[in-house]
Chains A and B, each alone.
Chain A
Amino acid sequence: MSTAAPNVIEERESSILVKGRQRKSHLKCDADSIAGCVSQRACVYCGARVVLNPVTDAIHLVHGPIGCASYTWDIRGSLSSGSELYRNSFSTDLKENDIIFGGEKKLARAIDELVEKYKAPVVFVYATCVVGVIGDDLEAVCKKAAQKHGIQVIPVQSSGFIGNKSAGYQAACDALLRLIEPRSAACPPGNKHEVKSINYLGDFNLAGEAWIITEYLRQIGVEVNTVFTGDSKCSNLQKAPEASLNIIQCAGSMFYLAQQLEELYGIPYMRVSFLGLEDTSASLRSIAAFFKDLQMKRLAEELIQRETAAVKSQMEGYREKLKHKKAAIYVGGGFKAISLIKQFRELGIDVVMVGTQTGREEDYQTLHDIADDGTVILDDANPSELERFMTEKGAHLLVGGVKERPLAYKLGVAFIDHNHDRKHPLSGYVGAVNFAREVHATVCSPVWKYARGTGGGNYAGLPQC
């Protein structure tokens, strides 16, 4: 018998579960969205673009009609310590004639004109939907341009319809592997543990987050060889094979790259998370353990103690104000969702709903394991579902991305952007405090008093913040 409410589509039932209420502990995920749904998901191009865009000194050329370039113009909030070239928007702006006769010539001209203007070491050429249909030979055009200009011109196979955002992550990783490739002969895989140098995968330096983590690692004696891809430059990325370890923050986008780097260059990888105090400390410890270096272990313990002590009173202050509030989570990847649950626990906040756009089966298994009984877990949710479960569960706060913000606000629910639009670094110890401050700023805003007056909000009966 169906237990779903009328506004839950039948096909969607297998993508939603309530912990402790149902016997099943796994849910349908990683599947295509249903036609006619208000999905919060994006496309292959989107996935590829968000991964590659932080490469600061690259020309990011979007091959297609104008829209795809317009919507991704400088929206990521990835900071650069050098070039600002990546913040421009380059498009071949395909017109009807190009669709009929092919866009290859225009693409070649665009590459020529841009390379002449900007002298960049690499051009990424993104395929959009229509390019996949009209059959432009991106490989051939890029190869020719690369020879002509003596730089790398790398096609990114990101036509929107060939899969979902995850396929775009993989297309981006393939492009990165091609960028790295030419130098592979120079650094044969060997015993790299002697060099305490790592690649930091899956941090896009939003609000400067990668800089915080790089500094922690420096303090315990680990050098960050390159970040994939926050504040990265072509020349740094090409040195990736020289590292002795890859650590992965955003596994959704970078797990594939880590596997490839291990296979091709013998670099082992480990998952880390620098979201929240608990995960940050655990991650630093595992990195130190990997290098089997007593000095590093000691430095790590000292750093953990020092940084934890530095934020302790602030965290306790926020915890006092925020405990017993209820949070809902709807983010892109599974690993971020897992970290957020732990981070909310540190603040005494109960998570009542958790969902992702592209989480994988093992992510959902972990979410199920760590969630409290009664927590709603869902994949590829639509706004009606988010509304229903937030209202039913009495959430005070939603963590999500750009499309979820006004939805939460309309319901009188506070909101935190844990995506492109974040304004403060949320990583590491300092990030944990920023996160707590952001939660406090929104949950305890005086605006909800007025929102309550119009019927919204879930604050009745709660102690004042």
Chain B
Amino acid sequence: MYAFGYHRPTTIDEAVTLLGQSEDASAIAGGQTLLQSLKQRLAQPGELVDLGAIKELSGIAVDGRTVVIGALTKHNEVALSSEVRKAVPALADLAGAIGDHQVRNVGTIGGSVANSDPAADYPAAVLGLGATVETNQRRIAADDFFIDLFETALEPGELIKAIHFPVPKRAAYVKFAQPASRYALAGVMVAETGDGVRLAVTGAGACAFRVPAMEQALAGDFSADAIKGVQVDADELNDDIHGTPAYRAHLVNVLARRAVEAAR
């Protein structure tokens, strides 16, 4: 780990100011990616701005139509929230399957979404449920948020405040966890929402993506059989020692069918 300065602001404005003061400042939320990169000496921020003391960033609010989760809310808080479980059980399930207890007790939804790791679980929920990302500057629709590998629509100085999840009619998340890391080798969130069927995939590509062909098939017939023959193109998918693009493409179909069957 390299030496760095450490700040713990209590307001968003203060945090943004601190981040703007130094070219190599970095915000830290739960730190489940950043701390590892610091320990491995891959990151060398001059200043760390810890968002953990900004109270307004934390918490869960549920009304009949929307679940609003503050950016600093920890995975286990979402997983164990009876309100979330009642409103969007798929979201609570997803949060409860992230990493292990240690990660879930520290990692945050805002950190995960802003990082946009190709194998993270939350991006599938944001995209699959058609959520809105609220930042200190604007509101960004999920469809516009995830750009590419570790790249999002967030601009410098822009911090996620909360994620707004519309409550779907039914939804499910099914994940195939790589056993060593428990990251998603592939994960599928399917949801029947007021705006139609949405199906988002994580783990398989550069970032979370939707599968329009499956969505269209499911719009007419929300059943596993409806998408039996709908394959995603393996060409663009990730390749690593845990699985080939062909395997991931195959898994997406299998998991999508299982998610449709599990949706509630």
Q: Please determine whether chains A and B interact with each other in the same assembly.
A: no
Which residues on B are within 8 Å of A, measured CB to CB?
A: none
